[in-house]
Structure 1
Amino acid sequence: MTDCGCDRARADLEEYLRNEICKTEQSDIREHIDGCEGCQSEALVARTLTDAVQRACKEAAPEDVRRNVLASIRATRATHTQS
């Protein structure tokens, strides 16, 4: 295994975090991140954002919020189609 370097690790970080790269590349990037403070920090931020987005995509708004948003959209459409 060889150190892939910061540029490559950062360029492939999203794919690495989603396990979308081959095992060899994944191993090289993991090895680099383990030894590089800057890339560790960037990986932590990216992982935190990725996890937050995944959680948000699974959550549903409460029904009353959903109804209010839909009513607002309908009212806006009605206003704009009459103009």
Structure 2
Amino acid sequence: MTDCGCDKAKAELEEYLHQELAEQDAQDIAEHLATCTDCTEEHLVGLTLTLKVQKACQEKAPADLRDQVLLRLRDMQSSR
């Protein structure tokens, strides 16, 4: 086990969250997170934000709101 340290873990946390690191780098950070409370807390904040953003991007406006917006856009275009 090689502890990568807080500096590296925090610097690469975003890439770690999105699984964009090389296997060894990801493993080093995972091992560090297993023993470092401060970095683990930062990881949980990042993970929570990532999941919330992903969920928000999947939500859709209600059909009646969508229809109202489209109608208003058509009205604005026709009045030019």
Q: Deviations over 1:37-73 (max 9, x none)?
A: 00110000100000011111111111222344553xx
RMSD: 1.9
1:1-83 superposed matches below 5 A: 1-69=1-69, 71=72, 74=73
Unmatched tracts of structure 1, length 5 or more: none
Identity of aligned residues (%): 51
TM-score of the aligned structures, taking structure 1 as reference length? 0.78
Greater mean deviation of Cα atoms: 1-10 or 43-52? 1-10
Runs of 4+ aligned structure 1 residues displaced above 6 Å come to none
